[in-house]
Amino acid sequence: MESNILIIYTGGTIGMIQDPNTGALTPFNIEALYQHIPALQNFNCRIDSYCFEPLIDSSNMNPPFWIKLARVIEENYEKYDGFVILHGTDTMAHTASMLSFMLENLNKPVVFTGAQLPMGMVRTDGRENFINAIEIASARIDDTPVVPEVTICFENQLMRGNRTNKFNAENFNAFLSGNYPLLAQMGVHIKYNTEYIFKPNFKKLKVHFNLDPNIAILKLFPGITENVVRSIINIPGLKALILETYGAGNAPTDAWFLKTLHEGIVSGITIFNVTQCKGGSVEMGKYETSVELSSIGVVGGYDITTESAVAKMMYLLGEGYSGKELTRMLQTPLRGELTVS
Ligand code: ASP
């Protein structure tokens, strides 16, 4: 049976051309994408498109845009079997993470893709990424979608969106899913790793539009000063801090550092411990350098990515969670974003 797919074009390199005057890359409209992939006509699916106006470089992504994107999916959810979102690579992992939280009970594929080289270029990776994404979004067995979750399809790999980060600005292989297996690999055939893919729950889609951006990220580095940590903790209105720690969740044991974080926690700020490493998990208490974090009330983030931690925090704060309930939700896998070790 023919699938109906909606392509949602947000911007990014995939659809860019060079401005003849400045030499800078600027976006062009979706018709030009089709010119570059005449093969789209041969697909056994009906493809419609929705184009954001204006198109954006994904460095300009923000919560209002996420809300618009989620609304487009909600409004078109019943009409289509799957969605392909063309998005810049820079913040694709953030948007994929965020949509995974906003779209509760998602039972259809939402496949993000983009390119490192514009579609207009001979060596573009965009054509292959785009075609793979459409194939995955339309894949069904017995009328049930094969991948009913938010994913990123890039360079012959399909990854759970909220497990990814962009780790390479040069290679076509730009995304990493350091803590979760690939959902599919594209070779001569698309090989789905079905045991790692969500099964549909057949419940009604519920879209969450309230996002609270009153959060900050603090990445630790040797030499970080009290001034810096204190300034962040004292940001007016700050509700949560994502603390990017070393290795398995370790941080300095200096008294001023722990005291400042503790003051923040006492004043109601939730501190979420995620690792700077691209693979592996926070294990608070494993080393002496994380025992104290645990005892002052820092919340361990297990193997969640920073991108996913940001999205989850904005989502949960937007839903009104705070205190112990927020901690509980942060440490509970909601969309397959973390593994409790
Ligand atoms: N700056 C671009 C963006 O993220 C890069 C890309 O599309 O890959 O929108």
Ligand 1 atom nearest the C-alpha of 92 is: 4
242 confidence band (pLDDT: 50, 70, 90)? very high
Q: Residues with beta carbon inside 6 Å of ligand 1?
A: 11-13, 57-59, 88-90, 114, 116
Show the beta-strand stretches assigned E in the chain.
Answer: 3-9, 16-18, 25-27, 45-51, 82-86, 103-104, 110-113, 140-141, 144-145, 150-154, 157-160, 165-166, 175-176, 184-186, 190-192, 206-207, 215-219, 240-245, 270-275, 299-300
Which sequence spans correspond to the domains of the chain? 3-207, 215-330
Positions annotated as catalytic residues are 13
Is the pLDDT reported for residue 262 higher than 70? yes
Reported CATH class of domain 215-330: alpha beta
Q: What is the pLDDT of residue 307?
A: 98
How far does residue 264's CA lie from ligand 1's centre (Å)?
35
Is the pLDDT reported for residue 199 higher than 90? yes
Give, in order, the Cα–Cα distances in Å from 56 to each of 51, 90, 264.
Answer: 11, 11, 36
Q: How many CB atoms lie within 10 A of CB 226?
A: 12
pTM greater than 0.75: yes
How far does residue 125's CA lie from ligand 1's centre (Å)?
13
Measured between alpha carbons, how far is 174 from 131 in angstroms, rounded to an integer? 17
Helix locations, 57-107, DSSP H = 63-76, 92-102
**What is 3-207's CATH number?**
3.40.50.1170
Angle between helices 306-318 and 323-330 (to 10 degrees): 140
How far does residue 115's CA lie from ligand 1's centre (Å)?
8
Same fold, 3-207 and 215-330: yes
Q: Which of 16, 55, 58, 125 for a ligand 1 pocket mutation test, highest count of atoms within 8 Å of Cβ?
A: 58
Report the pLDDT averaged over residues 57-70: 97
